[in-house]
Structure 1
Amino acid sequence: MTRLLYTSYFLVLFTYAAAQDPDDLRSAAQLETLAVNTDQETENDQLVQFLQYLLRRPLPINRVGADHLLDLHLLTPQQLNSFVQYRELFGPFRSKYELQAIPFWDLETIRKILPYLSFTETGEVNKLTSKVISKGQHQVILRSSNTLEKAMGFESDSNGVRKYAGSPVRLFYRYTFQYKQQLWWGFTGDKDAGEQVGDFTSFHLFIRRKGLLKTLALGDFVLNIGQGLVHWQGLAFGKTSEVMGVYHQGNLLQPYRSGGEWNFHRGIAAQLQKEHWELTVFGSARKLTANTIRNGTLQEGFSSISENGYHRTKGELADRNSLLQKSYGAVLQYLTGRFRAGVSAVAYNFSLPSLPEDKPYNRYAIRGRNWYNSGIHYTYTYRNIFLFGEGAVCKNGFGILQGMVMSIHHKVDLSIVYRNIQPGYQSLYGKSFTENSSVTNETGWYTALRLVPWPGWQVQAYADYFRFPWLRFKADSPGSGQEYFLQVGWIKRKKWDIYLRYRSTGKQENISGNYLNEPVPKLQANLRWHAERIVNQRLELSSRLDQVWYSRAGEQQSGTSVFVDGRYQLPKPTLVVSARIQYFKTGGYDSRIYSYERDLLYSFSIPAFYDKGFRYYCQVQGKPARIGRRLHVKLQWWLRWSQTKFGESHTIGSGGDEIRGNKKSEWKFQIMMTW
């Protein structure tokens, strides 16, 4: 088998690629699935920020709370509860080898979480005084990127006027301060290509302490309630290759430090805690970019809220900050070790009435100047069974989600999720375990199984059956669908990591051209083989083959993609060099293939490949170097070049982003100072 795998590598070229975090393969799969479901790359780097901080300043294992471990997104609910109960029963941990005695903790879990835990006693929690500034961590990030080929939006017309107001350079900057898991402050700025400098700025101050006032947030923050039926603004994944990851994990209140311009609140929030009771209240007022409906110069309402954050053209600039949204709400929770329950209510007020397009699928959409969502949620652990659920209501309907994760055997895990969300239920910031990208108009059953038949082997599978009671965008009738997933993986002594994955999904979609749109079955199947090999401490190699099949109303497409990459660390100078070469060929956009690329720290690249061409990138990363004796400033830098080349007669993109040519080239540069 080893000889066969080596032969597979040398059938194609191999180059070098750098990992962004210790658990890169798992994160890549989840972020890739998120891009497939939303058709866009995420800008939410909250999890990466949290993990990178812990690599420098790990959590003290004997004092860390369950909430902080929850933020790691590495532990199942059973594993988290087992950890807390084990520490309460047997006292402080003395060695990392003791983790093997915790129920439900396998060697793979321990390997993933060890880099973020410290077994050194650091004393009691320090009070928040002026001295924490000298003990905390400051970090400054400056990032710039640009596409070399000029898009149509940057070319002047016959009158010398360009469609885009700003330059093609994209800029990002961020300053953050953090003291342990108690104090955060900072600001963020972002300018997209085509925008003017200063388009988006963000500020946060976040305090977490012991006592009655547990948490205080000023500026920008996010709220994660229950299982996302009412409200969820943090990073959350639906159906992924981690088939047991059906439970939404995340602290209820968190500071917002990312560059996205939509999914957060701006105002004040506080958490009060007394024994087992916790109360969270918040108020927010912020201006949003909305597609306004005008009668001459008079604004009559808005049809939708823009989530992409672009302010480049005349129309986009006119809609910028055109809508004032006020939000307020409260969450009351009862918290114990095995049982947690809460009630929540969130209300919204708009400065303009919501007037969605007069389309049949918009019959139940949010309308008017006011909206609300309220719900109840709970979790309960009994031995090897973890139960969770949420029920929510709004003006026009209700939604229910109930799930279970159970360890049948130390080698077998089972998860089941049922959801029933009426077409009339609408949630402005909802993000739950659903097939739809929005939390509405869906019922379904999800069942998953994870097996560990032999050491190093793992089999994961799920089946999801869903139904849409009402019309959807691009589907002018109620419908149903199903999705199947199977993955077989093999890991050998941190040297090999190989998996074979198959995924099939089917549901209805309109076929246009007739007098009436007719929904017809749309079927898609994906097959993937992926292998990673750690050759030595300096060199890592990986390879992947993707195959996709697509069909709808007699139209059939197929696609293939193959890439090879690796990682090489130079001893002197201390550099990490990375690159990838990829070939792709598909029948069109419907058979596109997504591939996660390792990028600059805190930046994501998950392009969609379609038609025929090649893609490569090369990245150089400088290891941390001290540049100051007194401040002990550490400097890191990244430089990245990428290019996609299609066939000879080709255009890339559409509208103002259209490039007349067959290639697209991009450079990125980032420096990071930490002290």
Structure 2
Amino acid sequence: MKALIRPVFVQIFILLLAAHTLFGQEPVKPESVNTTQLEDKIEQLSGQTDTELDYSELVDELLQYIHQPVNVNQASERELRQLQLNDLQISNLTNYIQKFGELTSIYELNLIEGFDSVLVSSLAPFITFRLQPAGAKPTLSNLARYGRHQILTRYQQVLEEQSGFAPVSDSALQLKPNSRYLGGPEKLYLRYGYSFYNKIRFGITMEKDPGEPFWPSADSLKKGFDFYSAHFFYSGDKFLKHLAVGDYHLAFGQGLTMYSSLAFGKSAGAITTRRIAQQVRPNTGANENLFMRGAAVTITPLKNTDLTVFYSDKKVDAGIGATDSLTAETLFISSLQETGYHRTPNELRGKNAIQQTVYGGNLQTRIKMFRLGATAYHTELGADLERREALYNKFDFSGKSLNNFGFDFAAILRSLTLF
């Protein structure tokens, strides 16, 4: 009975704590938000994939714009893309503002080709038509006064006892050391984030999956969260467009050349077959593999031209094929693991088993309604990847280093988009 009361009590406490979000003083209070619209947006996107994904990062991005909405009259193309608008919608919106002047009401969006009542309703919580407040200039006093702090906590646990947590005898565990998880059944998530009008963001994310050890024990010296992630991100409008330090995401070449975050596939709309995402953005989710770790910067050396250079160096999970008996150095790996689970001695053995270094760049240029991009990057592994040969992986990569090159284009001709 005690074992049941303690998790439930902790869950109630964490839920109460998570219900309170810390805010600095704000010059303009956001309008009341219908949370059902946010839930519908998440449900709509989650319906475009068959896999079970962690949507905490997507929720975080949407929450940023709920509390600090985008002024559609002054929004850049990058900000409009973050609202999931496609090329035709962005082009028609820009032309409408240039022809008739700035919009004054959300209902005016219905007059623009490509915007219907359903789309306008879904955009309502994330946009505004008011001018930027005076406190939006990033000075030290404004950063301290108007910055928004947020703490998110989550506790999950399956109350029914699972086989991986069932007690076993010492002799049985010695024969099968991977038959029981090393940690408890709870899943813990804690994140702190700071945001200043979506221009400056930083934070830290911590997570522990069910079965992973949190407290040190005889089976494991591990203590604390299994996964830590930190980020700093700056977004500007002039020469320096993006600066990401720590953990971040990249999206180039419409998702074919490089796409480091989760992606959505099938959809009822044909236009969504082209992936439209912010090229550089911070990592705020709990996925332990789909991110870059290092630094990335985007500058504008010429008008309508963006240059992004990036560098990432991190350890990733891998299936170890063989090690040197004297130095314990990994000679080769059989696979790259993406589950993020470290619950048994065998899974812990593959944690951060290999070094992965990625560096490269991307060049984007725009000429009226035509855009052209080029991406090149190099990936280096700390040991050779030697997969077990099978028909399904006959053409998969094997080796130690890999070079990727990609070109992409998009053009809008009246009501037609080519890419």
TM-score range, shorter chain: 0.7 to 0.9
- Residues 1:346 and 2:360 aligned together: no
Q: Is the 8 A contact 1:261 1:309 kept in 2?
A: yes
Normalising by structure 1, we get a TM-score of 0.52
Q: Is the 8 A contact 2:73 2:102 kept in 1?
A: yes
Going from structure 1 to structure 2, the CA distance change for 1:278 and 1:159 (only over 3 Å counts) comes to same
- Residues 1:167 and 2:195 aligned together: no
- Residues 1:55 and 2:29 aligned together: no
Q: Is the 8 A contact 2:136 2:197 kept in 1?
A: no
Going from structure 1 to structure 2, the CA distance change for 1:152 and 1:223 (only over 3 Å counts) comes to same
Higher helix share: 2
Equivalent residue, structure 2, for 1:358: 389
Going from structure 1 to structure 2, the CA distance change for 1:55 and 1:350 (only over 3 Å counts) comes to same
CA distance in 1 between partners of 2:129 and 2:40 (Å): 26
- Structure showing greater radius of gyration is 1
- Residues 1:30 and 2:58 aligned together: no
Q: Among residues 246, 252, 255, which one is paired with 1:219 in the alignment?
A: 246
CA distance in 2 between partners of 1:59 and 1:257 (Å): 20
Equivalent residue, structure 1, for 2:78: 67
- CA deviation vs aligned residue, 1:311-365 (integer Å, no higher than 9, x gap): 0100111111111000001001102441111100121000010101122332322
Q: Is the 8 A contact 1:29 1:241 kept in 2?
A: no
Normalising by structure 2, we get a TM-score of 0.82
CA distance in 1 between partners of 2:368 and 2:247 (Å): 30
CA distance in 1 between partners of 2:236 and 2:112 (Å): 29
Going from structure 1 to structure 2, the CA distance change for 1:207 and 1:21 (only over 3 Å counts) comes to farther
- Residues 1:387 and 2:418 aligned together: yes
Equivalent residue, structure 2, for 1:248: 275
Q: Is the 8 A contact 2:295 2:310 kept in 1?
A: yes
Going from structure 1 to structure 2, the CA distance change for 1:375 and 1:155 (only over 3 Å counts) comes to same
Q: SS of 2:266's equivalent?
A: coil
Q: Is the 8 A contact 2:324 2:331 kept in 1?
A: no
What displacement does 1:33 show? 3.7
CA distance in 1 between partners of 2:192 and 2:134 (Å): 28
Q: Among residues 213, 222, 228, which one is paired with 1:196 in the alignment?
A: 213
Q: Is the 8 A contact 1:181 1:208 kept in 2?
A: yes
Equivalent residue, structure 1, for 2:107: 97
Going from structure 1 to structure 2, the CA distance change for 1:381 and 1:116 (only over 3 Å counts) comes to same
Going from structure 1 to structure 2, the CA distance change for 1:125 and 1:93 (only over 3 Å counts) comes to farther
Q: Among residues 195, 200, 206, which one is paired with 1:178 in the alignment?
A: 195
Q: What amino acid is the match of 1:120?
A: R
Q: Is the 8 A contact 2:260 2:292 kept in 1?
A: no
Going from structure 1 to structure 2, the CA distance change for 1:362 and 1:95 (only over 3 Å counts) comes to closer
Q: Is the 8 A contact 2:41 2:122 kept in 1?
A: no
CA distance in 1 between partners of 2:239 and 2:47 (Å): 41
Structure 1 segment 262-301 matched on structure 2, within 5 A: 262-273=289-300, 274-294=302-322, 297=325, 298=328, 299-301=330-332
- Residues 1:152 and 2:167 aligned together: no
Equivalent residue, structure 2, for 1:470: none
Q: What amino acid is the match of 2:104?
A: R
CA distance in 1 between partners of 2:393 and 2:239 (Å): 45
Equivalent residue, structure 1, for 2:117: 107
What displacement does 1:122 show? 2.3
Q: Among residues 276, 287, 308, which one is paired with 2:339 in the alignment?
A: 308
What displacement does 1:61 show? 2.3
Going from structure 1 to structure 2, the CA distance change for 1:26 and 1:44 (only over 3 Å counts) comes to closer
Gaps of 5+ in 1: 1-18, 389-675
Query: What's the C-alpha RMSD, in Å, of the aligned pairs?
Result: 2.0
Going from structure 1 to structure 2, the CA distance change for 1:170 and 1:293 (only over 3 Å counts) comes to same
Q: Among residues 264, 286, 310, which one is paired with 1:259 in the alignment?
A: 286
What displacement does 1:124 show? 6.9
Q: What amino acid is the match of 1:378?
A: F
Structure 1 segment 329-340 matched on structure 2, within 5 A: 329-340=360-371
CA distance in 1 between partners of 2:44 and 2:235 (Å): 32
Higher strand share: 1
Q: Is the 8 A contact 2:323 2:332 kept in 1?
A: no
Q: What amino acid is the match of 1:204?
A: H
CA distance in 2 between partners of 1:296 and 1:329 (Å): 32
Going from structure 1 to structure 2, the CA distance change for 1:300 and 1:20 (only over 3 Å counts) comes to farther
Going from structure 1 to structure 2, the CA distance change for 1:28 and 1:123 (only over 3 Å counts) comes to closer
- CA deviation vs aligned residue, 1:580-629 (integer Å, no higher than 9, x gap): xxxxxxxxxxxxxxxxxxxxxxxxxxxxxxxxxxxxxxxxxxxxxxxxxx
CA distance in 2 between partners of 1:47 and 1:21 (Å): 16
Q: Is the 8 A contact 2:68 2:198 kept in 1?
A: no
Equivalent residue, structure 2, for 1:421: none
**Number of positions where the alignment pairs a residue of Structure 1 with one of Structure 2:** 365
CA distance in 2 between partners of 1:282 and 1:238 (Å): 26
CA distance in 2 between partners of 1:250 and 1:337 (Å): 20
- CA deviation vs aligned residue, 1:629-652 (integer Å, no higher than 9, x gap): xxxxxxxxxxxxxxxxxxxxxxxx
Q: What amino acid is the match of 2:239?
A: L
Structure 1 segment 167-566 matched on structure 2, within 5 A: 167-197=184-214, 198-273=225-300, 274-294=302-322, 297=325, 298=328, 299-388=330-419
Going from structure 1 to structure 2, the CA distance change for 1:302 and 1:72 (only over 3 Å counts) comes to same
Equivalent residue, structure 1, for 2:218: none
Going from structure 1 to structure 2, the CA distance change for 1:318 and 1:256 (only over 3 Å counts) comes to same
What displacement does 1:223 show? 0.3
Q: SS of 1:227's equivalent?
A: helix
Q: What amino acid is the match of 2:338?
A: E
What displacement does 1:182 show? 0.6
What displacement does 1:278 show? 0.6
Q: SS of 1:147's equivalent?
A: coil
Gaps of 5+ in 2: 1-33, 174-178, 215-224
